[in-house]
Structure 1
Amino acid sequence: MTDGLRIVPVVDDAQVLDWQRVHNEIIPTAPLSVAEIRERLTRNVLEVAYDGDALVGCSTVRPPSDETAAAVVIARVLPAYRRRGFGSAIYQHCLDRGRQLGDGIETHILASNEEGLRFAKAQGFVEVETYLLPGDTIPFVELRLAE
């Protein structure tokens, strides 16, 4: 199913816009501007995933920070491409990179994204905490991979 999947780093304007499209569709409560995405590129690994030429998803891998020794991996798949193996492939790609960067793996999922939460739990993640960003009404769920 995912034979044509390509996961590539965000390096040009078209890829920034593709990453933005996926992020903002999956997380409508915290849309990011192009400037915010460019800033994230200075500290995180941002990638986009294509099935042939069709945009199917994006990902973020955050290295450990002062707040956590764990790397944070986030895989996002557009609704039209879910349940076809793309999420698993993108997640595995992020997981491999995250394991190179940190001691442990975490992910953060918008609480209203029930499919994303089910997927993470099926991969072995357990809920650590729920938090609300300033001005938001829908919380994020922080999960840690139980290894």
Structure 2
Amino acid sequence: MGYTIGMSSLDKKPINIQKLKEFCLINPIFKLDDSKTWTNMYDQVVLYKVNEKWEMVCAFDNDDNYAISTPPNDDLFDMSCKIADYLGLFIFGEENEIYYIPTYGKPQNHIDFEIAKSVFAENGFDINLIIEKATVEH
């Protein structure tokens, strides 16, 4: 079993399916598949067109605040980042390490997603404060 990479917001709200559909409409190289024909494991799958084939970028269930994502070493990771930017989602690993911060980019240091959510709950969305308080030494 592989290492799971996820996408979620700091406020734990469900992923906005309407906004995701809007993203796919204005970016036709992406497609939202909610028919469960690509896979029946998830309610929604976002696909990206690569050489006339569709590849999965992320997937989630309706009313969920979490999506699985392509890993940072995958060629499609940048496509996950585009979705993350549009929806305001952080991309993180199983050990809570943040791989991507929406509209900010890839962090330079190890930033813990659980700590970032706590800082957000206390102080709101102050990205500099979140990065400062959620950075952990390794």
Q: TM-score, normalised by structure 2?
A: 0.33
Higher strand proportion, which one?
1
Bigger relative CO (Cα 8 Å, ≥ 6 apart): 2
Q: TM-score, normalised by structure 1?
A: 0.31
Higher helix proportion, which one?
1
